[in-house]
Amino acid sequence: MPCENYKDALTEAAASGADPANALRSNAKMAALRAHFESCASCRTAFAEEQALFISIDAGLHATANAEVPASLLPRVRAALEEVEAPRLHWMSPLIFATTSVALAFLIFLIARPYRSVSDDQAKQTPPISMPLKPPTGSRGQISPSSVQSASTSANHLRAPRKSTLVHSAASSKPEVLVPPDEREAFARFVAALNARSDFAAAIVAEAPEKKDALVVVEPLQISDIELKPLESKETESSDRAGEKH
């Protein structure tokens, strides 16, 4: 057992890692410790043990801290880096695809818009004929004037501008057209026939292409030259005489 008074100094001296002789000479505290060692064998032994302990600790730390690096580490890391980058691309490509698709769809929408609106108009214009009018199940007399009236209203809307809808036509405050009873009846029959043949109705309902008024170009008449032929006098005279005799 080391002497209690020198225990800490002994440990510090050993922990310093320096050569014991040099360490003990370096300052007054160490000089006192060296002087004590000359008279105390147990402290000398304890100091040697402490030194051996620190040497062991340092050697063990060196072995732990400088362990050989496995050769597989860097290839593993490089392979993992490749895997890290691959999912990034997988994640990005749907995003790019989606963005491009949206942009493309928007572009197509913009291009196709006028055509679609025409077909929309047709779709909007068709219901006023078919919806309010049910196919006539009975005779002519069963067609009520109200249905004829609604048909006439919807027929008016067929020629109305694009934006017209069924609701709008129902709520329209346009003045109604007064139709004589026989014309109303004929129109009802016509509407019933339209309802039976929807394709025919669509053909009628379809907008006619607008034609702008243009100047009529009248081409000059081409008259061929007149041929003058001499009269055959003998044959004519004999035939005249024969006619006189009769």
Partner 1 sequence: MQELALIQPGGMARDEFLREAAQAEARREFEERLAECGALAYRVARGVLRNSADAEDVAQEALLRAYRRFDRLRDRNRFRAWLVRIAFRLALDRLRSSKRREQRDMFLSHPAHQPPAATAEDLAVSNEFQAHLDRALGELPEKLRLVLLLGAMEGHTIDEIAAIVGVSAGTVKSRIFYARKQLAEKLRCHAKTIKTR
226 near partner 1 (CB under 8 A): no
Q: What is residue 163's DSSP assignment?
A: T
18 near partner 1 (CB under 8 A): no
100 near partner 1 (CB under 8 A): yes
If the CB atoms of residues 62 and 174 are measured against partner 1, the closer one turns out to be 62
| Burial letters 73-107, b for 16+ CB under 10 A, else e | eeeeeeeeeeeeeeeeeeeeeeeeeeeeeeeeeee
> What does the alpha-carbon distance between residue 114 and residue 111 come to, in Å, rounded to a whole number?
8
Residue pair 70/30 in contact (Cβ under 8 Å)? The answer is no
Q: Which stretch binds partner 1 (CB under 8 A): 28-36, 99-107, 120-128, 178-186?
A: 99-107
Residue pair 143/136 in contact (Cβ under 8 Å)? The answer is yes
Hey, which residues between 29 and 88 contact partner 1 (CB under 8 A)? 49-50, 52-67, 69-70, 72-74, 76-78, 80-81, 84-85
CB of 104 to partner 1, least distance (A): 9
CB of 54 to partner 1, least distance (A): 6
Instruction: Name the percent of the chain in helix, strand, coil, to the closest 5.
Output: 70, 0, 30
Contacts to partner 1 by CB under 8 A: 11, 14-15, 49-50, 52-67, 69-70, 72-74, 76-78, 80-81, 84-85, 92, 96, 99-100, 103, 106-107, 110
